[in-house]
Structure 1
Amino acid sequence: MSGTSSRMLTLLSLLQARRDWPGPLLAERLDVSPRTVRRDVDRLRALGYPVTALKGPDGGYRLAPGQDLPPLLFDDRQAVALVVALRTTAAAGGDLGEAAERALAVVAQVLPSRLRHRVDALADTVVVSGEQPAVGTEVLLAVGAAVRSREVLRLRHRDETRRVEPHHLLHRRGRWYVLAWDLDRDDWRTFRLDRVEPLVPTGPRFARRPVPGGDPAALVEARFKGSAVRDAWPVVGRVVLDRPAGELAPFVGDGTLVDLGDGRSGLTLGSWSWPALAAAVARFDADVEDVSPAALRRAFGVLAERSRRAAAPPPRPRPGRTNGPTGSRSGRSGVGRQSR
C-alpha cells in the first residue's frame, strides 16, 4: 500500500474515533503538514466521505453523517468485538436478530484473512444460553426515541394501557428493559420490551425526574432483588454449613463463602424475604448451624412447618362418599344439585 493510501486510511480511522479534530493535531498525529491534511481530506470527500471543515483559530475537521453509510474501518479488536456482538444479537431471533445475521454476513466478507479464521471459530464457540426473548426493531427504536425526546409513552402491557415517562433503556441478562416513571401507579416501574407494545401518538414532553440513587442500572437491580432503591437484598443472613467450601462455591451466586476448615463453610446470603432466604440456604443440602439473625432462625421454623404440611399424606375421603360426580351417602343421583 502506498504512503498516501495508508495515510488516508489512518486519517479516516482517526475521524471515526473522535467527533472533532483540530487541524494541527491531525497533522501532528499523521506526521505531515496541515496542507497535506487538507489534500487528504479532499481525497476522502471525493470518495464519498462527508468530512466537514470546522471554523476556529486553527480550524478542524469532523466526519459528519451522510445520506449513505460509507465504508468503515475497524482494527482487529474492534472487528472481533463487532462479530461477537452481532452473534449475540442474532441469537435473540426476531427481526433484530435477522438484521444482525445479515450484518454478520457483510462483515465476514470483508474481514482480512488473518482474522477470518479466528473469527470463524466463534461460530462454534459463542453460545448464548438461556431464554433470549425477541424484541422487535421497531419496538426498540420507538421506546428509544421516546427516551431521547422525553415524551410520555403509552404502552400496551398485559392487556392494559399504561402511561409512562421513559427514562432509560437497559440490557440485562439477555433481555431489554425500559426504566420508567409510571404515571398511573405513581412509582418507578421496569417493563420488558418483549412484553410491551408502544402506542402512537406519544404524549407530551416531560421534565426528567432524578433516578433514586442516581444510577439507573443499580435501581433496576434493586427492584429485581425486592429492594426499593439500593442494589442490595432487603434481608441478609449468615449461617455455617456442614459442607466443604469447594463443593458450595459454584452455587453461591452473589453470596460470600468462607472456608472454616474441617469440612465446614461460613455463608452470607441475601434474599427478598426471610422464608425465601431460609429456602435458599436449604438448597445447599447440608446441616445448618450458627444461624443469625434471629429473624432467619424463625424463618427456618416457618419453612419447617410448611414442609411438614406439604409432606403430609392427602386426607382420606369420608366413609360413604365416592369421588364420582353423582355419588352421595344415600345413593341418590347428584344431578340437579347446585355447586357452590
Structure 2
Amino acid sequence: MGTTERVLALLGLLQQRRLWTGPELASRLGVTTRTVRRDVERLRVLGYPVHAGQGVGGGYQLGPGQDLPPLLLDDEEAIATAVALLAGAESGDAALRALTKLDRVLPTRLRHEVRALAGSVSSFGGGRPAVDSEALTTLARACRDEVLVQFVYARPSGTGRVTDGPSGAVADGSSGAVAGGSLREVEPYRLVASDRRWYLLAFDVGRNDWRTFRVDRMSEISEKSWHFKRREAVPEAAAFVQESVSSRVYKYQARFLVRAPMATIRALIPASAAVVRERTATTCEVISGAGNLDFILMHMTLLGHDFEVLDPPDLRERCAVLADRLRRAAEHQ
C-alpha cells in the first residue's frame, strides 16, 4: 500500500485499542518498525497526539483527552461518506465504529448535518444502495426539523402512471400533475435504506394517507417554511417500507406458513422480496407479492421447505392445479 493509505491504516489501528507495540504495528501493516516510527511522526505532524512509551509495557497510543484535527473532506465528501456508512450501520459493528470516528473528527458545521442524517435513517436488508447525498441530506434535515417537503415524483419507467402507497394504489397525478410525474407535498418522518434502494416514509398531505416514496424517483426536493405537528400513530418505518415494497405494491399479496426456522428462510429471500416473521423456533410466516399467483408459488416451492397457504384462499386452488400439472409432467417418460 502507498504511504497515505498506510498512514491512514496506522491511524485506524491506533483508534481500535489503547496500546500497540512497534512490532505489532509493523506486522499488521507489513512494514518494518523503522517505517512505523516514520509514519507515527507523519501523524504527529498532521496534529494527531501519538505518544510512545519506552521499555517493558511501552508502545504507541493516541493521547487521551485531546481533540483530533478536522477530517480533510469537503462538505459533499463528508456527507456522502456518512450516507454510505449509514446504509450498512445496522448490519455491522465496523460501520458503526467508523461513524463514531467520523463524528469525532468532522468540523462542527458538518457534524450537525451527519447527526441529523443518522437520527432520521432506518434500514432493512443490510445493503449499500447508490444514493444522492444532497437529496438524502435535505430529507433527513426535514425529518429532524419536522417541516413539510415538496417534490416531483416521477412515473415508473415505461408507464403512464404514478404508483406508490401502502396498498399499491395508483395515483393518476390529476391533483398537482406535472410532466413525467406528480407534485407531492408530504410530512417526512423517516428515511429507510433497503438492500436495493432508499425510501422515504411520509404522510402524503394531498392523499391523506401514509406513503412510501423511492428517493431515486424524487426530484426538485425542497423544504417548506412551515412545520407540521408530529402524528401520534406513526408506523414503524423499516417494517412499513419493507412490507410496502415486497407485497403491497403488487396486484396479489400472499401469506405462507413455512416449516423452517426464520433465519433459514431469511437467508434464502432478499429483504426487498418478502417479509419473514418468526412463528415458532421451527416455523415462520412469509408475506410476499407479485403480479401473478403462480409466480409466488414457484418461488415458495424452490425454497425447498414444506409450506402451507394462509392467504388468499384461492391460492390453495392454484397449488392443486400446479401439482396436477407437475405430476402429469413427471408421468410422461
**What range is the shorter-chain TM-score in?**
0.3 to 0.5
TM-score, L = length of structure 1: 0.39
Pick the structure with greater CA Rg.
Answer: 1
Provide TM-score, normalisation by structure 2: 0.40
